[in-house]
């Protein structure tokens, strides 16, 4: 099941000491440089230029491992082998809503770093639903929850997506939106989430349900109603690819990054790259996953590929290869990126911020690496030549 949640890592609370206002004014908060200087002086006094004593290192290692395991338990639930187990989506789209929801007022909640939410933005753009389905864009807060911010950034391009205030419910964060529904809600507050303004309720927070709905359930509101990303004759093939791509690639990168044992990581990373090898071979003779036609299966694969070299290869330890080392996959990525409307949904800086600055257990320093040339958005505009793939095969067969 596909959705994103920004984890709130909770720990036992402690009662703070109370100081008088006068004392707090007289004791300004030390700067980062002052704090660093204090630590440097202390270490020189305790053990000079040598490394810290072995006992201190082993104690720190044990303490950090314990805290890491505690945080990972909340961030990424796992089974007995240490393999990441993604929780299921709570709100699924009832097929009967495909007609009733089309006439109600819809609002989409997303976060730009999230690959599952990204799917909905792409299909929304391709179908021409930007006006019919307004969007509020949340960003990860300091505690990891999805929150809404007013960036006060002048927008020249009306299709450009930036974090915003909650345009539908005026809530401070996504948790408040979920809790405002009839009956309330105390579960995982994930994106994407489709909201019914008229009923004041969650319609769905399962990404694949939402993109299927956008593709075929809102054609009366869509500017590109003739576009069908899941035509009847390809449904079986699309489903077949989804059964491969979702567990082994979309969720596979998370199974690598969130593995809590070496065994779990080894299994996930080997399965991920063997699947990428298979897709690379397939794309050598097929323009898209299902032949010559872009489908929902391609959209689902794309949102993982666009994050691969800049995030998953580094942060999630998907290190056997970079995507740029797969000529067919990298060309396929560039072609989809260059389809009108798609590039506007991709914000590499927001993606990297969302992963490197939010997933504290995986990147405690918060330091963000430089974007590789393969993941740079300028590089994604290079010619892809994918339109020649099918023609080349036909030419070979006709000889």
CA–CA separation, 45 vs 335, rounded Å?
A: 59
- Segment 168-182 shows an average pLDDT of 96
- Segment 256-269 shows an average pLDDT of 95
Per-residue pLDDT tens over the stretch 111-138: 999 999 999 999 999 999 999 999 999 9
Please report the DSSP string for 144-155 in residue order: S-EE--------
Which tokens is 154 given? 């002048």
pLDDT value at residue 108: 98
pLDDT value at residue 26: 46
Per-residue pLDDT tens over the stretch 188-226: 899 999 999 999 999 999 999 999 999 999 999 999 999
Please report the DSSP string for 241-261 in residue order: HHHHHIIIIITHHHHHHT--S
pLDDT band at 397 (very low <50, low <70, confident <90, very high): very low
pLDDT value at residue 88: 82
pLDDT value at residue 193: 97
CA–CA separation, 306 vs 333, rounded Å?
A: 7
- Segment 82-102 shows an average pLDDT of 73
- Looking at the chain, which residues constitute the CATH 1.20.1050.10 domain(s)? 232-397
Residues facing 136 on adjacent strands? 109
- Looking at the chain, which residues constitute the CATH 3.40.30.10 domain(s)? 101-221
Q: Classify each residue of 268-279 as buried b or exposed e, where b means 16 or more C-beta atoms within 10 Å of its C-beta.
A: bbebbbebbeeb
Contacts of 281 (CB under 8 A, 6+ apart): 328
CA–CA separation, 273 vs 372, rounded Å?
A: 20
- Judged against a pLDDT cut of 80, whether residue 354 lies above it is answered with yes
pLDDT value at residue 52: 63
Look at residue 203 and give its three-state secondary structure: strand
Annotation: CATH topology of 101-221: Glutaredoxin (3.40.30)
- Judged against a pLDDT cut of 70, whether residue 182 lies above it is answered with yes
Positions annotated as catalytic residues are: 114, 254
- Judged against a pLDDT cut of 50, whether residue 290 lies above it is answered with yes
- Judged against a pLDDT cut of 60, whether residue 68 lies above it is answered with no
Tell me if the domain spanning 232-397 has CATH number 1.20.1050.10: yes
pLDDT value at residue 278: 98
- Segment 81-85 shows an average pLDDT of 77
For the chain, give the mean pLDDT: 85
Query: pTM of this prediction?
Result: 0.84
- Segment 153-179 shows an average pLDDT of 88
């Amino acid at each position: 099941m596909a959705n994103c949640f920004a984890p709130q890592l909770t720990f036992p609370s402690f009662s703070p000491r109370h100081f008088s206002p006068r004392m707090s004014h007289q004791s300004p908060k030390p700067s980062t440089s002052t704090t660093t200087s204090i630590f440097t002086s202390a270490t020189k006094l305790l053990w000079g230029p040598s490394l810290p004593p072995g006992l201190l290192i082993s104690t720190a290692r044990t303490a950090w491992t314990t805290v890491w395991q505690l945080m990972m338990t909340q961030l990424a639930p796992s089974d007995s082998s240490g393999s990441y187990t993604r929780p299921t989506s709570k709100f699924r789209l009832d097929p009967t809503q495909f007609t009733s929801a089309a006439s109600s007022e819809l609002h989409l909640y997303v976060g730009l770093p999230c690959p599952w939410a990204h799917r909905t933005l792409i299909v929304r753009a391709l179908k021409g639903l930007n006006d019919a389905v307004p969007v509020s864009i949340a960003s990860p807060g300091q505690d990891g929850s999805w929150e809404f911010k007013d960036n006060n950034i002048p927008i020249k391009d009306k299709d450009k997506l930036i974090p915003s205030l909650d345009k539908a419910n005026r809530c401070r964060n996504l948790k408040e939106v979920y809790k405002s529904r009839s009956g309330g809600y105390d579960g995982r507050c994930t994106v994407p989430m489709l909201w019914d303004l008229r009923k004041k309720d969650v319609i769905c927070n399962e990404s694949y349900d939402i993109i299927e709905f956008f593709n075929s359930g809102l054609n009366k509101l869509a500017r590109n109603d003739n576009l069908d990303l899941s035509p009847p004759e390809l449904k079986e093939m699309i489903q077949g690819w989804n059964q491969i791509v979702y567990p082994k690639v979309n969720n596979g990168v998370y199974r690598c990054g969130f593995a809590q044992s070496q065994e779990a990581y080894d299994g996930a990373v080997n399965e991920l790259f063997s699947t990428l090898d298979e897709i690379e071979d397939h794309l050598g003779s097929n323009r898209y996953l299902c032949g010559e036609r872009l489908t929902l299966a391609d959209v689902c694969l794309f949102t993982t590929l666009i994050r691969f070299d800049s995030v998953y290869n580094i942060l999630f330890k998907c290190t056997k290869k970079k995507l740029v080392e797969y000529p067919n996959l990298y060309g396929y990525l560039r072609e989809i990126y260059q389809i009108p409307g798609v590039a506007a949904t991709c914000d590499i800086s927001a993606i990297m911020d969302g992963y490197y600055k939010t997933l504290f257990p995986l990147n405690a320093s918060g330091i963000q690496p430089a974007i590789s040339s393969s993941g740079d958005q300028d590089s994604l505009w290079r010619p892809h030549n994918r339109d020649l793939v099918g023609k080349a095969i036909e030419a070979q067969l006709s000889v």
